[in-house]
Amino acid sequence: MTMRFDCLYVEKDGTGNISRSIKSLSLDDLAADEVLVRVEYSSLNYKDALAAGGHPGVVRSLPHVPGIDAAGMIAASTSPNLLPGQSVVITGYDLGAGHWGGWSEYVRVPASWIVPLPAGLSLKESMILGTAGFTAAQCVQAIITNGIDPGKGEVVVTGATGGVGSLAVKLLAQLGYHVVAVTGKERLRSTLQSWGAKEVIGREEVLNTTAKPLLSSRWAAAVDTVGGNTLTTILRHLKDYGVVAACGLVGGTDLPLTVHPFLLRGVILAGIASAALPYDRRLRIWEQLAGPWRINDLESLATAVRLNELEEKIQQILKGEIVGRTIVKV
Ligand SMILES: NC(=O)c1ccc[n+]([C@@H]2O[C@H](COP(=O)([O-])OP(=O)(O)OC[C@H]3O[C@@H](n4cnc5c(N)ncnc54)[C@H](OP(=O)(O)O)[C@@H]3O)[C@@H](O)[C@H]2O)c1
């Protein structure tokens, strides 16, 4: 008899209702890939909450096990370079989307998805970062690569209390940037300031529904997790040669805009797509996060839950109510 283990299982019944439960599976239920990982920690990202609801834009088929992040120890491997006992991190690719994910005591994945746990990070810290930290770091990298140093002006971060937002605020502040945090949670002003934000403004300040092609020159750069009119507003408010790293869509997917920010101000719109980031660039981002960009006091951003406590957190993240990072102790 093969070993059994628990996971959070999403399925659809005959009437089309989607349900979630903790289910016991056998290792034979997992995909036939090269590396079996005993998961220690996973995390909750906005995309995971969509997957947990069976969202067809994320999940290809049901039943499904969500969890786009996983960290743990290799339990078995047919790859000569990946040995049992090695600590590893897996984020993105198809994990928790087309492939059963990290909300499970075990995952089996292709060897090409495995990143050795970078020296300097614990498994727990790697999941406090998870896809959120990996994405925040790519946003910061895009801002730096495109010529914005701290002397160029203010950097705005939207969705600032969320997973990507909170880590972007902390990282940018540590690197010396003047961070303007945009939030719908005014009550968390002092928390955002403790993370390093120099200013905290409301979401409504970054929502301009006029058709004006340009707005006053205001910010040097932005990390935008919201999309829609928020992103349109930021693009029109950027200073000459400003940069926005666009990674999210919690506020919408439309982008009504004219070309004027690009043609008259040289604004750069940098798209961030974490899931498919090529392996060599992926390793470099993790090395940065474990080394020079190591974020102070990561634990203070994290709430840890068990698989059977995820339900309430899923509801919260869908309503934009999560603060910081939720990790799953599997
Ligand atoms: N492109 C990529 O590779 C990639 C990778 C990771 C994440 N993402 C995307 O980035 C976004 C954030 O992900 P996350 O995991 O950090 O989610 P999260 O923890 O839920 O953070 C999102 C934050 O956005 C704000 N928000 C929520 N609803 C909003 C609305 N309707 N209008 C304006 N602001 C709203 C809230 O912060 P405040 O209350 O502080 O405003 C919320 O905490 C998601 O769209 C996710 O899919 C993309």
What CA dihedral angle connects 146, 150, 154 and 155, to 10 degrees? 50
Query: How far is ligand 1, taken at its centre, from the CA of residue 257, in Å?
Result: 21
The mean per-residue pLDDT over the stretch 40-69 comes to: 97
- Band of residue 249 on the pLDDT scale cut at 50, 70, 90: very high
At residue 78 the predicted structure's pLDDT band, cuts being 50, 70 and 90, is very high
Whose alpha carbon is nearest atom 22 of ligand 1?
162
| Summary count for the chain: helices (H), strands (E) | 8, 15
* CA 127 to centroid of ligand 1, rounded, Å: 17
Q: Phi then psi for 71, rounded to 5 degrees?
A: -135, 140
Beta carbon of 226 within 6 Å of any ligand 1 atom: yes
Q: Report the separation in Å between the CA atom of 185 and the middle of ligand 1, taken as the mean of its atom positions.
A: 13
Name which of 182, 177, 173, 176 is nearest 154 in CA terms: 177
What is the per-residue pLDDT for 1? Answer: 61
Alpha-carbon span 248 to 272, nearest angstrom: 9
Confidence (pLDDT) at 2: 78
Q: Average pLDDT in the 302-330 region?
A: 97
Indicate if ligand 1 lies below 6 Å from the C-beta of 250. yes
Atom from ligand 1 closest to the CA of residue 138: 3
Does pLDDT of 131 surpass 80? yes
138: closest CA among 161, 172, 111?
172
C-alpha 136 to ligand 1 mean position (Å): 11
CA of 267 to the centre of ligand 1 (A): 23
Pocket test for ligand 1, best of 225, 317, 326, 327 (most atoms within 8 A of CB): 225
Average of pLDDT values for 156-168? 98
Report the nearest atom of ligand 1 relative to the CA of 166: 16
307 CA distance to ligand 1 centroid (A)? 22
Q: Smallest Cα–Cα separation from 257: which of 234, 223, 224?
A: 234
Q: What is the mean pLDDT of residues 251-274?
A: 97
